[in-house]
């Protein structure tokens, strides 16, 4: 896990403020209005995800979060009448993260000893089009009255991301915790102008466990004010082009090779339920 400033996104602070505002307006809509823009099933990953639709750990109570996903691979519907600026704010921030991720991938290629600094960039050439599933996700964590929280319930269950990297911005309410190599969770200080870069499981596979996916979570706040406050974050999930084969690049056989699109389908089938819970 690493951090960088929102200046890396160009006019990042302004764009992040805009998308936080538009996301807030969307999630304040009634459930019937939001559900008109629901994410469908299968590989289509655009749209609204209601609380309980996504299950990171079926053995635990549902996570207390909702989301709105945007990926250019899936030209879905937008609430243009209800939230006129929402589509523009998502596409602007997506494109900024796309450019930033190319720079990070170039640094990563050199750091891992590849002569071609565009080695990993070449795995993501389709970003912004229909052949790459990289996704921008607005996450919404509603206020939590004490009576609505079950024992062991979290805002977001501990998990690793099944992408290459995740670029994440959280609002001033914070709450993100990351697990270090000693198995201890560390709470990250909230800073809306800070971008957290989180290693995903695909990069772990590419590097034969040299770089390990970062486990992270969002717990229920102990502070009553934070517990009764809305929390927002924006996450950009970087994923290889559909036809890329995910494998150990050093020839190790620790993981069976699988195409990027098949890997994504496997994860979606595990996490998303057809029925609303």
The distance in angstroms from the start CA to the end CA of the chain is 32
CATH number, domain containing residue 76: 2.60.120.330
Q: How confident is the model at residue 277 (pLDDT cuts 50, 70, 90)?
A: very low
- Residue 23 lies inside a defined structural domain of this protein: yes
pLDDT at 148: 72
Question: Is the residue at 277 inside a domain?
Answer: no
Q: Is residue 238 part of a domain?
A: yes
133 has pLDDT over 70 = yes
Per residue in 64-82, pLDDT (tens digit) is: 999 999 999 888 899 999 9
Structural domain range at position 75: 2-271
Average pLDDT over residues 17-34: 97
- Give the integer Cα–Cα distance in Å for 236 and 60: 25
* Domain annotation covers residue 97: yes
Under DSSP, is residue 147 helix (H, G, I), strand (E, B) or coil? Answer: helix
Q: Output the pTM of the full model.
A: 0.92
The larger pLDDT score, comparing residue 273 to residue 125, is at 125
Q: Give the burial class of 8: count Cβ atoms within 10 A of its Cβ; 0-12 exposed, 13-18 middle, 19 or more buried.
A: middle
Q: What are phi and psi of 262, to 5 degrees?
A: -70, -35
Q: What percent of the chain has pLDDT over 90?
A: 70
- Under 8 Å between Cβ of 153 and 64: yes
276 inside domain: no
Per-residue pLDDT, averaged over 260-271, amounts to: 88
Polymer length of the chain: 277
Give the pLDDT of residue 19: 96
pLDDT of residue 150: 86
Query: What pLDDT is stored for residue 174 in this prediction?
Result: 86
Is residue 247 assigned to a domain? yes
Q: What is the pLDDT of residues 137-157, one digit of tens each?
A: 999 999 987 667 888 899 999
Position 29 in a domain: yes
What confidence tier does 55 reach under pLDDT thresholds 50, 70, 90?
A: confident
The answer to whether residue 223 sits within a structural domain is yes
pLDDT at 184 over 70: yes
pLDDT score, position 269 = 81
pLDDT tens-digit profile of 83-114?
999 999 999 999 999 999 999 999 999 999 99
pLDDT band of 8, cuts 50, 70, 90: low
Number of domains in the chain: 1
Bridge partners (DSSP) of residue 136 are 70, 236
């Amino acid at each position: 896990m690493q951090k960088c400033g929102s200046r890396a996104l160009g006019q990042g602070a302004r764009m992040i403020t805009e998308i936080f505002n538009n996301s807030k307006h969307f999630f304040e809509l009634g459930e019937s209005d939001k559900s008109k823009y629901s994410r469908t099933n299968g590989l289509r990953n655009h749209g609204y995800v209601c609380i309980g639709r996504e299950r990171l750990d079926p053995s635990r109570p549902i996570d207390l979060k909702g989301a709105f996903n945007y990926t250019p691979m899936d030209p879905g519907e937008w609430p243009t009448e209800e939230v006129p600026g929402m589509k523009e704010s998502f596409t602007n921030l997506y494109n900024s993260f796309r450019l930033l991720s190319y720079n990070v991938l170039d640094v990563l290629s050199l750091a891992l000893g590849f002569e071609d600094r565009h080695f990993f960039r070449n795995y993501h050439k389709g970003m912004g089009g229909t052949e790459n599933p990289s996704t921008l996700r607005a996450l919404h964590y509603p206020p939590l009255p004490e009576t609505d929280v079950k024992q062991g319930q979290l805002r977001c269950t501990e998990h690793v991301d099944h992408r290459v990297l995740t670029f994440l911005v959280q609002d001033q309410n914070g709450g993100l915790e990351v697990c270090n190599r000693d198995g201890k969770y560390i709470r990250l200080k909230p800073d809306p102008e800070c971008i957290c870069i989180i290693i995903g499981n695909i990069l772990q596979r590419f590097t034969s466990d040299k770089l390990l996916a970062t486990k992270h979570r969002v717990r229920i706040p102990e502070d009553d004010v934070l517990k009764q406050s809305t929390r927002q974050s924006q996450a950009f999930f970087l994923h290889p082009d559909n036809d890329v084969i995910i494998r150990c690049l050093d020839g190790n056989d620790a993981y069976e090779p699988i195409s990027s699109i098949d890997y994504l389908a496997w994860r979606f089938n595990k996490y998303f339920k057809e029925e609303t819970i």
